[in-house]
């Protein structure tokens, strides 16, 4: 039995969300400043050093 393994019955692995596209950089929606995405740190928790707006994943 595969109870508790997160795969369901004959299903594929869960994870990745957004159809497998994982952000590789964080971008400011206002001034387009870019920085490398740090694994485990959401982009929306980082402020742009230029204009102070929260970054988004891209």
**11 vs 54, residue with greater confidence:** 54
Q: Given a cut of 90, is residue 36 above it in pLDDT?
A: yes
Picking from 35, 22, 16, 19, the residue whose alpha carbon sits closest to that of residue 54 is 35
At 21, the pLDDT band (50, 70, 90 cuts) reads confident
Mean of the pLDDT values across residues 3-16? 61
Picking from 14, 7, 56, 11, the residue whose alpha carbon sits closest to that of residue 33 is 56
Q: Given a cut of 60, is residue 43 above it in pLDDT?
A: yes
Query: What is the per-residue pLDDT for 48?
Result: 97
- Most trustworthy range by pLDDT among 6-15, 19-28, 48-57: 48-57
């Amino acid at each position: 039995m595969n109870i508790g393994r997160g795969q369901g019955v004959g299903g594929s692995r869960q994870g990745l969300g957004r159809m497998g596209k994982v952000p590789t950089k964080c971008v400011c929606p206002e001034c387009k400043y870019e920085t490398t995405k740090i694994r485990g740190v959401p982009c929306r928790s980082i402020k742009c050093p230029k204009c102070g707006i929260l970054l988004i994943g891209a």
